[in-house]
Copies of this chain bind each other. A is one copy, B any other.
């Protein structure tokens, strides 16, 4: 009997990667195309579908592919679309699932990258036995995927889980969304960098301001530089408060931090947990874990996208 497998596709602003994986996370094939090279979506989906089909055919005798999961910024589960994604080359509303299905002939499910990360955590990662948890992706921005009672929360319109755009300080930093004080303006790679720059005030002459990014801040904090450590502490303070407020909505068993900023380890986890416990309502105190993701960053996006299909079949 052929082994069941699914295709996971992760569409990012720079690259699109895909893989064929089984339920244990074994890879049969992988591929990659440059998203930015395709200003026309039809050219993009032609090339992507061609490569995916070719990969599937190679393993035809061993595996039976049951569906294709797609993780993409601003992906909408209900509509099968990508809608007004600021970092992708295609404008407006793009019918992603319809176009891929027309070319490959398999069921296609789409959602945004943070929801895919949450499903990946549930199928392949550290949330395997959990029914209520949240994944926070700390990249350039802050994404989130909320799972309640074993099911992804999509909301009435497919756009649930935008915790990065909860307003923390009404008169705070300007956000890319056009408002002020969104969580992601403080708790993200970009937010950390800005906090570090603020603490430095006028950076000393031997620091090139344009070189300051989250890796730079991380390196300086690791070397024990007080200003950089303080930047992590402030970021964790705010994140802990925001996550305490999130718990008062869906009361999860755990919140997973994922992505570049989460890889800073204790530097971000310790101040976040401290602020989180301090700000939790009594009935939740000591009950909700803040944990690192159980997925390796390298292939997590493909596994997350693949989980969209497993989640509907399990």
Contact = CB atoms under 8 A, between A and B. Distances in A.
Interface in A178-204: 178-179
Interface stretch (A20-28, A31-39, A227-235, A247-255): A247-255
Contact of A156 (B132, B160, B166, B279): B132
Interface stretch (A3-11, A63-71, A144-152, A212-220): A144-152
A250 B249 contact: yes
A298 interface: no
B177 A156 contact: no
Mostly, the A contact residues are loop
Interface residues of A, number: 43
Contacts of A281: 162, 165, 177, 179
Nearest to A132: B156
A162 B280 CA distance: 11
A253 to B, nearest CB: 4
Interface stretch (A53-61, A102-110, A238-246, A264-272): A238-246
A167 B160 CA distance: 21
A158 B148 CA distance: 12
Contact of A249 (B179, B241, B246): B246
A98 to B, nearest CB: 21
Interface stretch (A117-125, A282-290, A300-308): A282-290
A160 B170 CA distance: 25
A157 interface: yes
A126 interface: no
Q: 9 shortest A-B CB distances, which residue pairs?
A: A155-B251, A160-B251, A156-B253, A132-B156, A166-B245, A162-B248, A165-B281, A249-B249, A166-B248
Interface of A: 83-84, 130-132, 146, 148-149, 151, 153-163, 165-167, 170, 177-179, 241, 244-246, 248-253, 279, 281-284, 287
13 contacts: A83-B283, A130-B156, A131-B156, A132-B156, A146-B249, A148-B155, A149-B151, A156-B287, A157-B284, A161-B251, A162-B251, A179-B281, A249-B250
